[in-house]
């Protein structure tokens, strides 16, 4: 059975998409069969993997959701694209906004994504879901379908304080919908380790949550190169293979497998 990892945080700009891309390709580089799912109407993951016109795509996550909602027979692999760096992708575009609105009136609306994943789960070792910066129905679907959640967090006071509300939602959702969902860990991203501020925030995070939640030992450093890689549709391994961010994601991949 594959492992389903949800990459989520209601805050934007915390490197959810960058982490999904580089963890997914890092796993593929280690011989794992990996599918990454763009569950965000912004289509950030799709663009980050080099598909720059998601609005023109015929088959996307919207196609998947609509088939499942309407209980139609369909080829569950019709929306899957193959990326040159070894991962498969289900793309997304802004049509997911209308899907999210329509889910409100659907029976068992939290389970639509999970129903689909069961159709293709045996094809992969890891399925990683990139979520939008919100706690709407699309993110709920991901959390109900997931086995584990990785929470990327920037090392700022407000970001760490905001974790409290997110964790409350996760615990409530786990109690009602998905008791097997585990918090894989909190991942510090965009870290400037040269500053005392970043060290203080890391210490505060450990003091507040370290006793109950795993905090990844590997932290992702702040780097302009990482942002550039996303812009040109490459992983950090291809864009800047000898840089600190590539090394950090390689170490994170090993930590996730372990």
**pLDDT tens digits along 175-186:** 999 999 999 999
Provide the strand spans (E) within the chain. Answer: 3-7, 34-39, 81-82, 88-90, 126-131, 148-153, 182-188
The whole-number average pLDDT for the span 145-150 is 97
Residue-range domain boundaries for the chain: 3-257
The whole-number average pLDDT for the span 106-127 is 95
Nearest Cα to Cα of residue 130 among 60, 55, 44: 44
- What confidence category does residue 62 fall into, taking pLDDT thresholds of 50, 70 and 90? very high
pLDDT at site 89: 98
- Per-residue DSSP letter, 33: -
pLDDT at site 172: 92
- What confidence category does residue 188 fall into, taking pLDDT thresholds of 50, 70 and 90? very high
Q: For 3-257, which CATH superfamily applies?
A: P-loop containing nucleotide triphosphate hydrolases (3.40.50.300)
Kindly calculate the radius of gyration of the chain based on its CA atoms and give it in whole angstroms: 17
pLDDT at site 199: 83
pLDDT at site 200: 87
Provide the CA 253 distance to its chain's centre, in angstroms: 14
The whole-number average pLDDT for the span 179-199 is 89
Contacts of 135 by beta carbon, 8 Å cutoff, 6+ apart: 10, 166, 169
- What confidence category does residue 151 fall into, taking pLDDT thresholds of 50, 70 and 90? very high
**pLDDT tens digits along 18-53:** 999 999 999 999 999 999 999 999 999 999 999 988
- What confidence category does residue 197 fall into, taking pLDDT thresholds of 50, 70 and 90? confident
Q: Whole-model pTM?
A: 0.95
Determine which helix (DSSP H) or strand (DSSP E) holds 41, and give its type and residue range.
none
Mean pLDDT score across all residues of the chain: 92
pLDDT at site 223: 87
Rounded Cα–Cα distance for residues 135 and 120 (Å): 25
Rounded Cα–Cα distance for residues 80 and 61 (Å): 9
């Amino acid at each position: 059975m594959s492992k389903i990892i949800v990459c989520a945080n209601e805050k934007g700009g915390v490197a959810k998409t960058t982490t999904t891309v580089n963890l997914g390709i890092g796993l593929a580089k280690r011989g794992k069969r990996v599918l990454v799912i763009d569950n965000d109407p912004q289509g950030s993951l799709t663009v980050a993997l080099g598909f720059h016109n998601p609005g023109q795509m015929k088959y996307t996550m919207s196609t998947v959701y609509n088939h499942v909602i309407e209980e139609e027979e369909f080829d569950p692999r019709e929306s899957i694209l193959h990326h040159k760096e070894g991962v498969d992708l289900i793309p997304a575009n802004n049509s997911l906004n209308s899907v999210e609105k329509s889910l409100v009136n659907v029976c068992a609306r939290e389970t639509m994504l999970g129903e689909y994943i069961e159709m293709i789960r045996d094809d992969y070792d890891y399925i990683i879901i990139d979520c939008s910066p919100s706690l709407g129905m699309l993110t709920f679907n991901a959390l109900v379908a997931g086995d584990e959640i990785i929470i990327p967090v920037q090392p700022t006071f407000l970001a760490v304080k905001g974790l409290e509300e997110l964790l409350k939602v996760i615990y409530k959702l786990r109690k009602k919908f998905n008791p097997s969902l585990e918090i894989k860990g909190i991942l510090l991203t965009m870290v400037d380790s040269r500053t005392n501020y970043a060290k203080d925030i890391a210490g505060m995070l450990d003091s507040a949550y370290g006793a109950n939640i795993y905090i990844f030992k590997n932290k992702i450093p702040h780097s302009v190169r990482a942002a550039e890689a996303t812009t040109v549709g490459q992983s950090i391994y291809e864009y800047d293979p000898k840089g600190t961010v590539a090394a950090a994601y390689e170490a994170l991949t090993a930590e996730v497998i372990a």
